[in-house]
Structure 1
């Protein structure tokens, strides 16, 4: 019997060994560089004859390495927000995203008062005496002289007329109550004739309406009628003088003192600035303004009377009162209409104490001075740009987007260089953000209104800002 060869018997396998499937990894395993065709050794005992599986690994940094890295970054970019949303909780994130956005903040740097750019040009003030100029509702243009109290002549009659209309108001075409001329009134008239005063003839028993008397007072400057009206109103001249000085004090006329209702006495004194203040108050009465603008009028006994103010109708002049004496010189308180930019302004001024040997020369000199002033005013008072259409503010959203705000058009006003204009700024809530050209407020000055609008649109908030903002 033949014995089997010595040594271990070969193992008999029921099934042949199958090489394991190669693992597919997102990123290749980096290891020692192997030569082409070299079979990597598995851990443990290797099976002889095991087939080589898969292509050889690519060199590090090649296309096979970069492509999985790109895929990984893309995957992270997609998955990270999802992970964050899941971490925060779907309901909380949705609430954050749908919460109302907070209102944006609107700020401006427009001052409450702005000066018209530039310096006031030279005004041709008279070389002698004093003068004062203002534009009603706008302000004082300036003045000249030392503003000391001086005789003012018949300009004093402005206060007489002011008080008569204040104590005995008229409206429209009303003539008012009737004043009967007394024998004392006639005697006063006759006593004034030798003195060369401005007068209108009167007769005892003559019946004159209040309007007639005011026309005689203000047009031909009748001194006798000034006395007659004072007695009619207050009972005596002294009582009326007390009323005149009380009214001056009420109006702030600190440089004024009346000693007669006509201004004939040189002790009746005032200043250009004081009389401009009185003129402003008197012109508020429409009947006063109508009377001083009359070139002429008809009254009982005297018949047709002429206004001594030769400037009426010239450069818009519509009043107010002349005055001249040897001590006072030539005086004129005047008012004139001025048309600028579609608006009609009122210039009120006074020129006092102009030289001259007699009344016609004095009044000619004062008229010449007033003409120069009015011409200058027409050259100075114009429409100026107070606020250019440049940045005056900004809108800032809660997430930090900022846009500028500007006037939609330049804000232009009527005035003169150096004049300070009151400015009112209003703003509207801009919401959470704004669009380009959105009106967010307005700026107003001297009755002119201009919208404030955005110069651009604010950006939208980002997803992350919405998610991360505090509740």
Structure 2
């Protein structure tokens, strides 16, 4: 009896189907095939990661600043004919306004002339440069010596402007400067020179050195008081000196005093009779036979709620004596200051209209305009320097956003965008260069 067939070893696994020729179906891919697939996929995945990181980096970069270009000229001339001011028929004159410019002058072709006691402005300037004083300070003490008294007494017969002194008298530096500038004391000019430098010659050398530093090419000092006719200058030079001297608050305080009180002499009066007239607050008179009548002056001028300083000089006016000479120069100065007040006004330099363009790096552009008309104080014919400062923003720009400023004669006006600049396109952001 035959034995039964043994059961299959793997009853749960179906028998493989026979193919052509009885071959088996292929099994799972070998390992090296999988490695090839992974090798191909890694670069693709890396490229995808890099692209994603690059895209993120491009989109997160700050947008570049916009570019501001304007049609505003660096200088703008106020339309109209320059004012014809009542310059003196003889002698010389010069006028300027701080912060605005030179109004003009006359008689400059005559060269340097004696200036009398206007020379004391340089004496005070040198003293304050070498011995600075704060506002309201009295400074060190000068003691009057026997030599100072002898100098004072020697000047009396010559009819010079003096203040009395006695040996042993003690003057503060401020007392001495008040005596120098108000009643124009020649003996105090000499005393200050000795106190500062030991001799008049050494002090005069300092005066001329200071003149050179200030660019006073037509000025020569030979004494600290201006009594000698060999001390010469021009109106233009002395206006430059006055501008430098007025930077000292103490100097300005002193020349503005109508009177003061000092030891021995008592009350002293300022010889400048124009104080308070047409805004005049200084500076110095001067008169001799050779120099005629002279006034170096400063006056305040208020226009459009802003105060300006006029600095001027009128020199070498005729007269037979000091009162007549000073009356003549004062008459000219009054006329000049009246004319200046009539001519110096507020003028429109720029309208509040498109004056340039703001452009983005991605090609959008809008016009820009002053936020309001730019008005300045001046006079017809004055050329005004104009400065444009650009502060263009990055990225988008809002309508009305400030993108810069325009400034002239101390007046500053914002520049605003007349329309908005939007964000750049996604494509521009992705393809922009680093």
Q: Structures share a fold, TM > 0.5?
A: yes
Q: Report deviation, 1:345.
A: 1.0
Q: How does 1:197-212 map to 2 (within 5 A)?
A: 197-212=160-175
Relative to 1, partners in 2 of residues 1:201 and 1:392: Cα closer, same or farther, differing over 3 Å? Answer: same
Deviates further, 414-423 or 304-313: 414-423
Match of 1:423, SS state, is: strand
Residue 36 of structure 2: aligned partner: none
Q: Is the 8 A contact 2:165 2:265 kept in 1?
A: yes
Q: How does 1:64-143 map to 2 (within 5 A)?
A: 105-143=67-105
Q: Is the 8 A contact 1:321 1:334 kept in 2?
A: yes
Q: Is the 8 A contact 1:436 1:456 kept in 2?
A: yes
Q: Report deviation, 1:427.
A: 2.9
Residue 306 of structure 1: aligned partner: 269
Q: Does 1:425 align with 2:384?
A: no
Q: Report deviation, 1:372.
A: 1.1
Residue 388 of structure 1: aligned partner: 351
Residue 342 of structure 1: aligned partner: 305
Q: Does 1:166 align with 2:159?
A: no
Q: Is the 8 A contact 2:59 2:430 kept in 1?
A: no
Please tell me whether Structure 1 or Structure 2 has the larger radius of gyration of its CA atoms: 1
Q: Report deviation, 1:102.
A: 7.9
Q: How does 1:165-244 map to 2 (within 5 A)?
A: 165-244=128-207
Q: Does 1:414 align with 2:386?
A: no
Q: Is the 8 A contact 1:170 1:176 kept in 2?
A: yes
Q: Report deviation, 1:416.
A: 2.2
Q: Deviations over 1:49-79 (max 9, x none)?
A: xxxxxxxxxxxxxxxxxxxxxxxxxxxxxxx
Give the whole-Å Cα distance in 2 for the aligned partners of 1:211 and 1:454. Answer: 56
Match of 1:405, SS state, is: strand
Q: Is the 8 A contact 1:103 1:433 kept in 2?
A: no
Give the whole-Å Cα distance in 1 for the aligned partners of 2:352 and 2:166. Answer: 69
Give the whole-Å Cα distance in 1 for the aligned partners of 2:203 and 2:341. Answer: 40
| TM-score, scaled to structure 2 | 0.79
Give the whole-Å Cα distance in 1 for the aligned partners of 2:59 and 2:146. Answer: 94
Relative to 1, partners in 2 of residues 1:291 and 1:428: Cα closer, same or farther, differing over 3 Å? Answer: closer
* Counterpart pick for 1:405 among 368, 382, 386: 368
Q: Deviations over 1:109-130 (max 9, x none)?
A: 2223333333321111111100
Relative to 1, partners in 2 of residues 1:425 and 1:182: Cα closer, same or farther, differing over 3 Å? Answer: same
Residue 403 of structure 2: aligned partner: 440
Give the whole-Å Cα distance in 2 for the aligned partners of 1:324 and 1:290. Answer: 23
Q: Is the 8 A contact 1:115 1:421 kept in 2?
A: yes
Relative to 1, partners in 2 of residues 1:462 and 1:216: Cα closer, same or farther, differing over 3 Å? Answer: closer
Q: Report deviation, 1:348.
A: 0.6
> 1 or 2 for the larger relative contact order (CA 8 Å, sep ≥6)?
2
Q: Is the 8 A contact 2:99 2:410 kept in 1?
A: no
Relative to 1, partners in 2 of residues 1:193 and 1:428: Cα closer, same or farther, differing over 3 Å? Answer: closer
Relative to 1, partners in 2 of residues 1:443 and 1:291: Cα closer, same or farther, differing over 3 Å? Answer: same
Match of 2:99, SS state, is: coil
Q: How does 1:317-336 map to 2 (within 5 A)?
A: 317-336=280-299
Q: Report deviation, 1:169.
A: 1.7
Q: Is the 8 A contact 1:147 1:273 kept in 2?
A: no
- Structure 1 unmatched runs, 5+: 1-90
Q: Deviations over 1:283-318 (max 9, x none)?
A: 111111111111011111111111100000111111
Relative to 1, partners in 2 of residues 1:281 and 1:461: Cα closer, same or farther, differing over 3 Å? Answer: closer
Q: Report deviation, 1:390.
A: 2.0
Relative to 1, partners in 2 of residues 1:265 and 1:422: Cα closer, same or farther, differing over 3 Å? Answer: same
Q: Is the 8 A contact 2:119 2:225 kept in 1?
A: yes
Q: Report deviation, 1:250.
A: 1.2
Q: Is the 8 A contact 1:147 1:272 kept in 2?
A: no
Relative to 1, partners in 2 of residues 1:159 and 1:461: Cα closer, same or farther, differing over 3 Å? Answer: closer
Q: Report deviation, 1:336.
A: 0.8
Aligned pair count reads 377
Give the whole-Å Cα distance in 2 for the aligned partners of 1:102 and 1:299. Answer: 68
| TM-score, scaled to structure 1 | 0.74
* Counterpart pick for 1:269 among 228, 232, 237: 232
Q: Is the 8 A contact 1:355 1:362 kept in 2?
A: yes
Relative to 1, partners in 2 of residues 1:239 and 1:385: Cα closer, same or farther, differing over 3 Å? Answer: same
Q: Is the 8 A contact 2:389 2:406 kept in 1?
A: yes
